[in-house]
Structure 1
Amino acid sequence: MLFLHPQIQKAAGEVHFFDRDDNYGKGLEWYRRKMPYSFKGQITIEKSPSYFVTPEVPERIRAMNGSVKLLLIVREPVTRAISDYTQLRTHAATASTLTGTPQQQQQQQQQQQQQVARTFEELVMRPDGTINESYRPVAISLYHTYMHRWLEVFPREQILIVNGDQLIEDPVPQLRRIENFLGLEPRIGRHNFYFNHTKGFYCLRNDTSEKCLKESKGRRHPRVSPMVVTKLRKFFNEHNQRFYELVGEDLGWPEE
Structure 2
Amino acid sequence: MQTASSPALFDLTGKTALVTGATRGIGLALARGLAGAGARVILNGRQPEAIDTAVATLRADGLQAFGAAFDVTDEAAVAQAFAALDRQGLTVDILVNNAGIQHRQPMVELALADWQRVIDTNLTAAFLVGREAARRMIERGRGGKIINIGSLTSEAARATVAPYTVAKGGIKLLSKAMAAEWARHDIQANAIGPGYILTEMNTALVNNPDFDAWVKASNPAQRWGRPEELVGTAVYLASSASNYVNGQIIYVDGGWLSVL
- TM-score range with shorter-chain normalisation? 0.3 to 0.5
Task: Tell me the TM-score normalized by structure 1.
Answer: 0.39
Q: Which has the higher helix share?
A: 2
Q: Which has the larger radius of gyration?
A: 1
